[in-house]
Structure 1
Amino acid sequence: MTKHRVTIREVAHKAQVSQQTVSNVINGTGRMSEQTKKRVQSVITTLGYHSNRPAQMLRTGHSRMIGITVPRFDQPFCSLFCDCVAQYARQRGYGLVVSVFGDNFEETIKETYQLNADGWIFFADATILRRIRHLKQDYPVILAGDYLGDGELDAVMMPNVDASRYATNWLIEHSDGHVGMIGASFDTYEQDAKDPDPIPLRLRHARDRNTDMRLHGYLLALQDHAIQPDWTIIRPVRKLIEAEGERATEMLLQTGDIPSGIICANDALALGALSTLSKHHISVPEQIQVIGFDNTRESHYSSPPLSTVDPYVMQYAQLAVQQLIARIEGSIEEVHVLTTDYRLVERHTTI
């Protein structure tokens, strides 16, 4: 036998409020006393009420679902970001649908029209997004993943340059100053390693792609201490994943020029670096200090626990969801680029 579906009318009757009040509680809108809100929420839980989303969509034209695209889950940040987006969306009365696009972002754009989300957060790297001819869709879009979209769409960003500069400065001041970096992109490395300018012009004007901006911050910190960049201890990667961190660290050790500290473009690379250093019996932090970027869950549980830049991922998610919902609900404000705060979390891979 099919279970009886509890209606808003039944919730309203039991809570002794209007149906509109119940709707406001469900959708996180309207004004009411905290006591009334808690009473309605209690009745919703007791009766087992669930929103009828198909009917709601037919009635309002909105599904109260938001979507997020991510490239894959082979690095810790993507799952952390999705969890934070889901948590804050739920607080705002929205569900979440996730689309994993791998290397085919164009196909994902087509799929978004089949998934009935009211708006989408596109989390992808700059090279993928630049292949898309039409970032503007028939639904609201927020860009994440450190790509600005040429100022045509809202975007959320991390303070990549400032945070990387701060972390590198900290590491220089807490070591002998011989600090390397893992996480430059290969095209940047091939072009800029030959540039006599300590900070190549292209990097000075980098406005997107986190690897370029974090490398820029690293080079600025070297400049702050009048240190000439040594490109033998700056290692490029193809992807921001653990395996690339292992490979890049192996290449760094093979140069024989071992730095006293390493800044990594994200936590996944840093975890790979720790793995390689451990295999070579190089003590962290006594021989080499390591700092990551993202403050992912995994950074707490590495051995030793990873020091890392915390770019306030929950704030990052909240800004994205908040701006997307504003657009869904009709905001026509000018395009915004929203940036999070940051802090350095000192654990046991630094002294």
Structure 2
Amino acid sequence: MSADPHPQPGGFAHGLSHDDWQRIGAALRYLGRDLHHRSYAVTSERRELLWQEMDACLHLAERLERQHEPVLLRATPGSRPCTLVTGASSGIGAALARALASEAGRNGVPLVLVARRLDRLETLAEELRGANGVEVLCLCSDLAEPEAAWRLLEQLLQRDLTVHTLVNNAGFGLGGAFHQVPWGRVEAMLQLMVSTCAALCHGVLPAMRSAGGGRIINVASLAGLVPGLPGSALYGASKAFLIRFSQSLALENRESGVRVIALCPGYVHTEFHAVLGVEERMRRNLPGAMWMQADDLARRTLAALDGRRTVVVPGLLNQLIAGLTRWLPEGPAGRLTTAFSRRYRRR
């Protein structure tokens, strides 16, 4: 019987540990190599069949070796709550980490910083330890990888940490027409800004609810509130998901003491637009009143946690834009966002 190279989700047997899956995957990988060696001693027709079997075994081995059970953090007598910030190496994430560090230091709560660039995390950690006397843990992780959220939560579990404050900030931008974006980048964005955010919320909520409180800050964007933004189709859609997701979580957890907000900033002075290669032209084409400093945004965000709004749009001009595009008919709103997109992208 051929190994199914595309097993259906949930088709794996339950009750096996991660080590068990690793052993099964290794056995299938060995079988695939054995089939490859045997193929040279048979006819060409039989060799083709063996190669198909080999490919199926190797593909399934890769799937099994990546298999990872979802991780749920639960409070235990020895566990400690922490503040977790993803995408903390620069920009909004670093600013939020700085704003949360003094609070964490006062409360004796560890601050966990997550990003791909460990050197930047360590530099920020030293700054925060010196300024606030806070315990800081730096974890290097690419959250755009499948299963990365579970691996991160498992690292917290191994350290007897639960999460009291979660900041889902990790993300990146994609410029240009959607059909021109490499599919690998599309998958990475969906994984990072949709799946990973949802997985982390899923993993931390049980402990928050049992503790009678917690905070989740999902960093969305003004782009998620406007009805379409040409040139940023997937980015805007992923941020719109975060907004609606946060609104639903806030309602589901309203009686549990868990506060959930979707932060929707406009233009912020960070590396974000420089990475996209559009920073200079945006600074040239957009008025200064539309920009905000990251530290100012962070202060407004922490103040919003004490408020009642779920969707937080910092800045009067940003609030005006959000309200205008919400109430305009679809046609005029679309023409407005298209003209705006062309303006900030023109050279």
Please classify the TM superposition score into its range, dividing by the shorter chain length. 0.3 to 0.5
TM-score, normalised on structure 2?
0.33
- Relative to its length, the structure with more helix (as a share) is 2
